[in-house]
Structure 1
């Protein structure tokens, strides 16, 4: 079993996970990128707590994206901010392969990847107060009421995230599903230690450093309004 499969197996030992694993086949290009680049840019939970200076060769602002999908937005953000470091967490191997392809095409060295459950990454690899920003962009809204308990944004998870952000660090959540945006604002409104950066206490316009995604463009064509919500850790 590869290190990445070992990392996913850990989440099966507990009832709460940050993901639902779906089937998906890798393209030949993604497979080649995985085989060639994962040893260089992939991280394993077996390595223990992340040593940023050892991994990136420097001390820089550290960002964590939970669930980066196919990785295009993460690659664009990292390209636009070469003075920052980025950790991507994604369970789907095709997405990891796609991000590795983007990294190679753009010549990026400021991204590292975990193929693991985000909760395991936080508890095993991330030091308290070490993150400058956490991004959760377009998490699964689980629109059916009977599935709401599967939503990632829940009070317990937000309390956990608070401890990994430095004071003044930012939690950035975006969704194009209005009922989920309302749920997120309700959860965050009751969360201790966070301040909503929107002047009206709601959502904000898309920040300039968050790329417009293909997913978002499709949503706009369907009339979906994207809610970007930024919260500062107190």
Structure 2
């Protein structure tokens, strides 16, 4: 098991345009049975290891995160890393590493994606012995009810497997800066284009379904499935 990751950072800058008509709060802070969605996500991740820090990556041009946090993270050592303008996840990662020069490695995650099997997530994390210079990307079971997600295709022994992006990955400062300057700024590649290049990333499989809480229907599902006993 890897123990040297000093921080969890959660992409929390999105407003949630697809749920705007049904929810009042920005997507990371919609209520899921008494806790904001982003707290439900962080609770899952903080069970993986004794991470010293939790950071929410936000954007002031979308909303003021402090307005919605309140006591949602009582008992958790957290801070906010707030960009003034939304410029994509890779830009948010660079901004994060610029702000925290003492952090060289971080576990990143989306604020709207929940694993439906916490034990499977823990097992996958505990099976990672070390992190190389390449990012380590967590993949999950494909969601057969959806077609709007990024598939990662593998061919093993002549058989093709399509797995789903879980939104969770480990990346280093050096990889982030290199990708930002060489792939993002020079070639216009998005983070997913770089992460899911199977020749340059390491992958770990989480034998779990995931729930992307991005539509009114999936918000309803989250409220039916997720509580403090989950």
Structure with the largest fraction of helix: 1
Q: Check whether TM > 0.5.
A: no
Which of the five TM-score ranges fits, normalised by the shorter chain?
A: 0.3 to 0.5
TM-score by length of 1: 0.38
Higher relative contact order (CA 8 A, sep 6+): 2
TM-score by length of 2: 0.39
Structure with the largest fraction of strand: 2
